[in-house]
C-alpha cells in the first residue's frame, strides 16, 4: 500500500473540519429559527455564531493546498 501524500492528508483534514463547522452552523441555525418565534433578541443571539462558523468554513477552504 502506497503512503498518502502529506498534502492530500492535509486537504482531507481541512475538508473534514469544514464539514464539521457547517454541520454545527446548521444545527445552530435550526435552533435560532425555532427560537425566533419567541423573540428577535434570542434570534440575534444565535445568528452571529452561525455566521462565524460558516465564515470559518470558507476560510479553511481557502487554505487547501493546490494539488499538482
* pLDDT, tens digit (0-9, with 9 covering 90-100), for 21-43: 999 988 888 887 777 777 777 77
Q: Are 22 and 53 in contact (CB under 8 A)?
A: yes
Do the domain assignments include residue 56? yes
Do the domain assignments include residue 5? no
Question: What is the number of domains present in the chain?
Answer: 1
Residue 2 is predicted with a pLDDT of 64
Tell me the percentage of the chain whose pLDDT exceeds 70: 90
Domain span holding position 53: 25-63
Do the domain assignments include residue 8? no
Residue 33, all three cell numbers? 429559527
Residue 34, all three cell numbers? 425555532
Do the domain assignments include residue 29? yes
The pTM of this model reads 0.74
| 51 CB-near residues (< 8 Å, 6+ apart) | 25
Amino acid at each position: 500500500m502506497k503512503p498518502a501524500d502529506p498534502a492530500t492528508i492535509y486537504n482531507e483534514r481541512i475538508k473534514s473540519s469544514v464539514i464539521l463547522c457547517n454541520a454545527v452552523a446548521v444545527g445552530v441555525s435550526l435552533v435560532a429559527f425555532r427560537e425566533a418565534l419567541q423573540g428577535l433578541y434570542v434570534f440575534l443571539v444565535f445568528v452571529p455564531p452561525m455566521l462565524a462558523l460558516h465564515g470559518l468554513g470558507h476560510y479553511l477552504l481557502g487554505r487547501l493546498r493546490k494539488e499538482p
